[in-house]
Amino acid sequence: MNKNEWEPKLLTLIKEGFDKEQIKKDIISGIIVGIIALPLAIAFAIASGVSPETGLITAIIGGLIVSLLGGSRVQIGGPTGAFIVIIVSIISRYGIEGLLISTFLAGIILILMGLFKMGSFLKYIPQTLITGFTGAIAIIIFVTQINDFLGLPNKTIPSDFIEKLIYYGQNISQTNFTSLLVGLSTIFIITLIPRFTKKVPSVFIALVFITIITTVFKIPVETIGDRFSDISFQIPQFKLLNINLDIIIKLLPSAFSIALLGALESLLSAVVADSMIGGHHRSNVELIAMGIANTTVSLFGGIPVTGAIARTAANINNGGRTPIAGIVHALTLFLIYLIAMPIVKFIPMSALAGILIIVAYRMSEPHVIINSLKINRYESTVLITTFGLTLLTDLTIAIPVGFMLSVILFMKRMADSVELNPLMYSKVNDQLIFSQELGEYDKRIRIVEINGPMFFGSVFHLQNIEEKLDNDYKFLILRFRYVPIVDSDALAKLKILLNDMKKKNIQVYFTGLNDSLKTKFIKQNIIKETSIFDTIDETLNTCHKKLNE
């Protein structure tokens, strides 16, 4: 076991020693990422149905804990757009208290996932499933922001996706063109700035510029201050949550949704970061840190925390290479929260909507969806199903169904890949390569080569062996050289086959078994050791001797 396996990256780097020049780069990067995170934290919070302060508190506390205790050198933690859908759903059903308890429970689940070393298992979640629900979440975020982007008068919109579309169709005539212009201008500036410079965060520039213009010229557009009247610095209040068994049972599905999405997004972000810096994160440590961050944030009234891919990439691109950058990012946000909160109230709501529309577009990655749909019908089915269920239901249904569907389709593909090849007694009349390998042998011997894993999804092939052979044979050789695994269902079917052969006085021999299968077959009393041979030639020689006796 690696002695550093459970050690946060920051502690490892402290032991190894920091480079002074790198610390300077980390501080600069942390300040830049903190500036980038400011509008995103506010926008994600408002879109989730909570106050701007809640988003900042989450980014500050959660981001600080992730950098202090995490298993990645460069991960930036905080609220992300992927959680918006889940948070809105939980608040609509269980209120703010339900969200806080769900986040707390999700933190506990994440800690347990890390302690039980489940970080490596999450890599088995199919990419098509992730692409499907991420694309759907992006569309939901986009649709949710249309109301503020168009400046529609009704601030309470339907929660159901289809009902939202109907609502917009019925109220499109009430569009506030001033809000629309402000939103479009925000998008234009965000997309324009990177063409001239990538050193300055375009989202921050757009937000500051639009806020100054709308404030100085008193442009009539709804602002954060209009919707949240009391915007000011407030010391986060620690509050114990009222948790009992009934509440846990009721909120556990929501907690699992937060935990699974948080784990997937944070580890995906860590993997992307590794590829950018040539590093290697500690996935289980990262899960534990995310768990501690979520339990802590919930006790201070915050929303779920995970690794933020865009902010992590920005950290790397600006020179960040150690957790110091993440710590500085959190401290920068704290200073802004301490000093500049009275200014935040002047930010136009349609500008925030424009920012989130850009986030939704980048998050959707339409080219990835299109490429995934071209791979094969199985992966397309998983993607489309997960995508549709995420839009029309929620992640508590979409992810489990999508995962189970992908497992079922994978098993079908594995079962379809299994082949039974009867090797005939004459190489002249049979074109299979195996016959050329073996040459001629007595026609009273039948050889069947099995290719592929024998599990409950493919055991029907064992039942078909007798159908592939005529009745004029005394020995059956089952060649297992291309069989990696045999599960309990396959063992049961194999026993039935052997019993049938025994009734017909047909001797069955095995060849090509790997060591694991050989041990399993003997231990489970499937066959005796005398019926197992290492090579096909050895098996054929034994059969010929018995026929000549």
Averaged pLDDT score across all residues of the chain: 88
Q: Who has greater pLDDT, 75 or 160?
A: 75
Closest C-alpha among 391, 344, 358, 357 to residue 149:
357
Collapsed DSSP state (helix, strand, coil) of residue 422: strand
Identity at 401, one-letter amino acid code: V
pLDDT tens for 171-222 read 999 999 999 999 999 999 999 999 988 777 899 999 999 999 999 999 999 9
Secondary structure element (H or E) that encloses residue 151, with its range: none
Q: Which residues is 507 bridged to in the sheet?
A: 475
Strands 77-78 and 306-307, how do they pair? antiparallel
Task: Extract the runs of DSSP E, i.e. beta strands, from 82-238.
Answer: none
The total of other beta-carbon atoms located within 10 Å of residue 362's CB is 12
The domain ranges of the chain are 22-364, 418-548
Give me the pLDDT at residue 292, please. 98
CA angle 205, 78, 101 (to 5 degrees): 140
What span, in angstroms and rounded, lies between the C-alpha atoms of 147 and 149?
6
Name, in order, each residue with C-beta under 8 angstroms of 349's C-beta and a sequence gap of 6 or more.
46, 148, 151, 179, 221, 222, 223, 224, 226, 227
Identity at 49, one-letter amino acid code: G
- Is the pLDDT score of 471 beyond 80? no
Structure token pair of residue 525: 């009393």
Banded model confidence at residue 3, pLDDT cuts 50, 70, 90? low
Name the DSSP class of 423.
E
Give me the pLDDT at residue 7, please. 95
Name, in order, each residue with C-beta under 8 angstroms of 188's C-beta and a sequence gap of 6 or more.
none
What span, in angstroms and rounded, lies between the C-alpha atoms of 136 and 391?
6
Banded model confidence at residue 2, pLDDT cuts 50, 70, 90? low
Distances from the Cα of 549 to the Cαs of 96, 402, 502, 546, in angstroms? Answer: 84, 59, 20, 5
Give me the pLDDT at residue 423, please. 61
Q: Who has greater pLDDT, 502 or 469?
A: 502
- Is the pLDDT score of 437 beyond 60? no
Identity at 69, one-letter amino acid code: L
Banded model confidence at residue 363, pLDDT cuts 50, 70, 90? confident
DSSP code string of 469-536? S-S--SEEEEEEEE---B-HHHHHHHHHHHHHHHHTT-EEEEES--HHHHHHHHHTTSS-GGGEESSH
Residue where the block lists tokens 């989450």: 58
CATH code for the domain defined by 418-548: 3.30.750.24
pLDDT tens for 378-435 read 888 999 999 999 898 877 788 889 888 988 888 888 777 777 776 644 333 344 334 4
- Is the pLDDT score of 469 beyond 80? no
What span, in angstroms and rounded, lies between the C-alpha atoms of 149 and 187?
11
Give me the pLDDT at residue 432, please. 39
Least confident range from 76-90, 423-437, 490-504: namely: 423-437
Give me the pLDDT at residue 418, please. 72
- The end-to-end CA distance of the chain, in Å, is 57
Give me the pLDDT at residue 286, please. 97
- Is the pLDDT score of 322 beyond 50? yes
pLDDT tens for 508-534 read 999 999 999 999 999 888 888 899 998
Collapsed DSSP state (helix, strand, coil) of residue 190: helix
Least confident range from 40-54, 253-267, 408-422: namely: 408-422
What span, in angstroms and rounded, lies between the C-alpha atoms of 506 and 271?
55
Banded model confidence at residue 302, pLDDT cuts 50, 70, 90? very high
The mean pLDDT of 360-364, rounded to a whole number, is 87
% of residues, the chain, pLDDT over 90: 54
Banded model confidence at residue 439, pLDDT cuts 50, 70, 90? low
Give me the pLDDT at residue 434, please. 42
Least confident range from 119-123, 261-265, 285-289: namely: 119-123
How many CA within 13 A on the CB side of residue 382?
Answer: 24
The mean pLDDT of 29-38, rounded to a whole number, is 93
% of residues, the chain, pLDDT over 70: 95
The mean pLDDT of 484-495, rounded to a whole number, is 89
